[in-house]
Amino acid sequence: MVDHLANTEINSQRIAAVENCFGASGQPLAVPGRVLLGEGILTKECRKKPKPRIFFLFNDILVYGSIVINKRKYNSQHIIPLEDVTLETLPDTLQMKNRWMIKTSKKSFVVSAASLTERKEWISHLEECIRHLLTKTGRQPSTEHAAPWIPDKATDICMRCTQTKFSTLTRRHHCRKCGFVVCADCSRQRFLMPRLSPKPLRVCNLCYRQLLAEKKKEAEADRRQPEPIHSALLGYEPSSGDDSDKSDDDKADQWPADTEFYTSEVSWSSFHS
């Protein structure tokens, strides 16, 4: 299907339509050999509450963003290289069904589909694209993944000290290493984790001690073996940071009312053929 669509006019039109929907806030998506395979709305489990997000599956990347006007305007664009993606099916909860986790070295998060069939379709297409890319590049599947953030409502107390109770005055924080919800006293440290960010990030006290110990071991290993080991992903620039606290109520003024998404008779959760 990828080879069939790669150089077609309809594929170029579809990618251009996605670029137009993100407008100036998005990155260019049209590159030689890239094919838009499908799109759909999935529910993303964010820090404060689950939110609908638009997802676009290409043969080499997964793109998602916030919905301002469906099929007209999206923002907060995120681009994930599929080579870095690992999937994990999750059990249903009382609030969310048909869940799975998208794990990468920079960010991991949970999404859910409207039906079990839709989840199977998404996972099947994602796994096929990932398998094809890894075969093409000769890379092994990624084994290092960022921890998903525990939702704020999952706990009323700090998950480290188990003493501090959160309130309007006592804020929740997240450790960027383990994803736990922690209080300020249990997360006063910052640590540089280059895979996640070029800046030092908030970590809980336990993870800080573990990271310091790992850094000490790496320094000792570097003294024995001075040649640096470069990551294949260091050159990749993420499109944006965490979107969980951003408002979905952006104004749509000055957006052309006659902007058209490509027409299709199939449902919004379709995969193109």
Give the residue extent of every domain in the chain: 2-146, 149-220
What is the average per-residue pLDDT within 63-67?
97
Show the tokens assigned to 263. 């027409």
- Compute the mean pLDDT over every residue in the chain, rounded to the nearest whole number: 83
Contact 56, 39 (CB under 8 A): yes
**Residue whose pair of structure tokens reads 């910052």 in the numeric block:** 190
Cα 98 to chain centroid distance, Å, stands at: 18
CA distance 9 to 127: 26
Nearest Cα neighbor of 182 from 199, 170, 196 is 170
Quick one: pLDDT at residue 266? Answer: 39
Looking at domain 149-220, its CATH architecture is 2-Layer Sandwich (3.30)
Q: Does 55 score more than 80 pLDDT?
A: yes
Neighbours of 6 (CB within 10 A): 13
Q: How far apart are CA 181 and CA 154, in angstroms?
A: 9
- CA–CA dist 142, 158 (Å, integer): 31
- Specify the fold of 2-146: PH-domain like (2.30.29)
What is the Cα gyration radius of the chain? 20
Per DSSP, the residues of 188-200 read -EEE--TTT-SS-
pLDDT tens digits, 252-266: 333 333 433 333 343
CB 108 within 8 A of CB 45: no
Q: Which of 147, 138, 43 is nearest to 96 (CA)?
A: 43
CA 149/CA 61 separation, integer angstroms? 22
Distances (CA, A) of 80 to 58, 65, 198, 242, 273: 10, 12, 17, 13, 22
For the chain, the residue count is 273
More confident residue, 172 or 252: 172
With contact defined as beta carbons under 8 Å apart, do 146 and 107 qualify? Answer: yes
Between 95 and 129, name the one with better pLDDT: 129
**Amino acid identity, position 45:** E
* Strand 181-182 relative to strand 173-174, pairing: antiparallel
For residue 24, the number of C-alpha atoms closer than 13 Å in the C-beta half-sphere is 2
pLDDT in tens, 109-144: 999 999 999 999 999 999 999 999 999 888 888 888
List, for residues 152-163, the tens digit of each pLDDT value. Answer: 988 999 999 999
**pTM score:** 0.75
